[in-house]
Chain A
């Protein structure tokens, strides 16, 4: 069983569209994250939820809206997609502080 699963794996869409990426973890972890990895492989945290509550919200355009219906799911909705949003988006989860994260396999978003 995949511990952290993201869908879709690939997403190609036109500028201006709205799209969502879904993430689910079956590890029973309390905290989930969204990271963005750009073309230079820089990984930057976007959001973090702990038990459905937003705890980290980095400087991200408000076109990006995370939603956590329960602690096992963290979805990312992006409005009015721009070329610069093209990247690989990783979902991750962890239990408590000071422990390693478990990452999903990523969603490669290409905006054309």
Chain B
């Protein structure tokens, strides 16, 4: 089964609003990463947070990680129409070699 479950499955907001996506996972991890996928394109790495970190920022992105609850959130502030995409969390497992397991994704629609 998929390692990560994302919530909500779809999110529709207006430009300028903030968008929050949540990810829950099941087993211990080495790191958690967020990716964006525009329609018909490949995935683009956004941000990585390690298991010993609680919060990380990159531009308009803010990621939190709660290993006790096995959950993470991605906040996009002051959203733009260009942020419209699917967002996936991916967990890096504690195995000999890195193996990223992806969540189910959140489809974000930002309307002008």
Residues on A lying within 8 angstroms of B by beta carbon are 4, 31, 33, 35, 41-45, 48, 50, 55-56, 90, 92, 94, 96-106
Per DSSP, are chain A's interface residues mostly helix, strand or loop, or mixed? strand
Residues on B lying within 8 angstroms of A by beta carbon are 2, 30-31, 33, 35, 37, 40-45, 48, 50, 86, 88, 92, 96-102, 104-105
Q: How far is the CB of A39 from chain B (nearest CB, A)?
A: 13
* Selected contact of B98 from candidates A98, A104, A105, CB within 8 Å: A98
Q: Is the CB of B42 within 8 A of A103?
A: yes
* Selected contact of A100 from candidates B45, B96, B104, CB within 8 Å: B45
Q: Is the CB of A97 within 8 A of B101?
A: no
Q: Is the CB of A103 within 8 A of B43?
A: yes
Q: How many Å lie between the Cα of A106 and that of B41 in the bound state? A: 7
Q: A31-B98, A48-B99 are in contact. Are A101 and B45 (CB under 8 A)?
A: yes
Q: How many Å lie between the Cα of A92 and that of B33 in the bound state? A: 15
Instruction: Enumerate chain A residues within 8 angstroms of B40, measured Cβ to Cβ.
Output: 106
Q: A31-B98, A41-B86 are in contact. Are A97 and B30 (CB under 8 A)?
A: yes
Instruction: Enumerate chain A residues within 8 angstroms of B92, measured Cβ to Cβ.
Output: 97-98
Question: Closest 9 interchain pairs by CB?
Answer: A100-B45, A103-B42, A43-B102, A97-B98, A103-B43, A105-B42, A55-B97, A98-B31, A41-B105
